[in-house]
Amino acid sequence: MKERLRLRWGIGRALPVILIMIVALTGCAQEQQEEWFDPDDVPEVEVSGYTLSLSDGAVVADVPYVRCVVMEGDEFTILNFADLQIGSSEVSGNAFSYRFLKTTTSSLVSKVKPDMITLTGDQTYGQRFALGRVCEHIESFGVPWAPVYGNHDCDQLSMSLAQQSEMYRSFEHCLYADGPGNLGLVQSRRSPAIGNYVVNIVKIDGDNFRVVRSLIFLNSGNYQNYDDSEHAGEQRYAGHNYAHLNRNQLNWYRQMAVSVQNYGGGSPVPSTIILHMPIFGYVQAVSAAMNIDADVYDIPAWLSRTQKISLEESYDSSYWKAGYEGSFGVMHEDICGPPYDDGVLDFIVETGTTDMVYCGHEHNNNFSITYRGVNLNYTMKTGVGCYCEEDMIGGTVITVASDGSATVRHVLDLP
Ligand SMILES: [Fe+2]
């Protein structure tokens, strides 16, 4: 009897604990299911183009997510900062990483004298205090600046992307725009497909204007669940689950690239895609271009060779295969984008006018390879936030000429 009572009493006390554990585990499973889904499940929507006109000496669009900046001379210089990854604790005290970041960026700005600054994502971990301080610092340079979201920008639930959007838009020189708003979710309810927008570099001559180059900013999201059984026969690159762009974003990108062709003054208008995570084409490009005796899908074997090549050595054409001698930069870690071919490079090539992509995300990759007519770039890691190699910290400079052509170079934060 005593034994039975003890058993009942034991079950009585254990039951609430068991129930709480079941609820917690179920909740986690639901959370996981809600958070990550296939972007291909997003319902397809109609996307439309835009028109530009000259008004009071400025070029304006008929939609709020297309902005214009003016090229005054024969060149327009963009300085990119990548993966600052600053947390609130790092800006609240005397943390070294934020002080180092401020010194690095200030020194790069005085060295490069950019007409515009771009930020390829992972500025912070989504904490209000950190993002506010980073924005204030970038704004202090007094030039137009344009960020994209990275996967870590929505790590912390303290600030949704909508709240981050509001903060970006409160800064006078920040060109950020949410985008058309109907592009669907990007893999996560924390990461809606906002932050897709366009900045056109324009030349104005009296009552005439033309677009020299169009910059198309995309939110590359964060993660998704890949069902490997749906990719039977395809080789998986790496074990991670980074997201791919959804089809609405791609269709919208194409509309943007096509619309701007009306304003080239008789010449095609080239475009650059700027996003945080690499597209799958980066895997194909590095495999085609790097003079490495290994299979790119065999990541340990591949990296054991590529990690031996320093940034300085990478400028030597002997590290590149025939036809890719103009490439430079290193691959010291695996490519953390979609593990299966996302078809984005094919889509870009078919669109026909985009000749450049640049992204951030990997701190120790900074290669620049022109593959299938598209210059695919990793930008240089800026500051020491999260992880880095100390001799590969700096910025990336994109120089746009008045004929629209653009070149890329890395600038190190070294004396
Ligand atoms: Fe990232």
> Would you list the domain boundaries of the chain?
36-412
CA of residue 220 to ligand 1 center, whole Å: 10
CA of residue 364 to ligand 1 center, whole Å: 12
Strand partners, 368: 328, 377
CA of residue 276 to ligand 1 center, whole Å: 7
CA of residue 339 to ligand 1 center, whole Å: 15
CA of residue 395 to ligand 1 center, whole Å: 16
| Torsion sign, CA atoms 171, 248, 180, 187 | negative
CA of residue 82 to ligand 1 center, whole Å: 9
CA of residue 43 to ligand 1 center, whole Å: 26
**Residue whose entry in the numeric block shows the structure tokens 């065999």:** 298
CA of residue 362 to ligand 1 center, whole Å: 7
CA of residue 173 to ligand 1 center, whole Å: 24
CA of residue 360 to ligand 1 center, whole Å: 7
Q: Name the class of domain 36-412.
A: alpha beta
CA of residue 188 to ligand 1 center, whole Å: 15
> Which one, of 333, 332, 413, 319, lies nearest residue 369 by Cα?
319
Specify the 3-state DSSP secondary structure of 249: helix
Residues 6+ apart with CB under 8 A from 286: 296, 331, 335, 367, 369
User: Nearest-5° angle of CA 414, CA 369, CA 364?
Assistant: 45
Strand partners, 215: 199, 272
Q: What is the pLDDT along the chain (415 residues), one digit of tens a residue?
A: 333 434 344 444 554 444 444 433 333 333 344 456 667 777 888 999 999 999 999 999 999 999 999 999 999 999 999 999 998 888 877 788 898 899 999 999 999 999 999 999 999 998 999 999 999 999 999 999 999 999 999 877 678 888 999 999 999 999 999 999 778 776 665 667 899 999 999 999 999 999 999 999 999 988 888 889 999 999 999 988 898 999 999 999 999 999 999 999 999 999 999 999 999 999 999 999 999 999 999 999 999 999 999 999 999 999 999 999 999 999 999 999 999 999 999 999 999 999 999 999 999 999 999 999 999 999 999 998 999 999 999 999 999 999 999 999 999 986 5
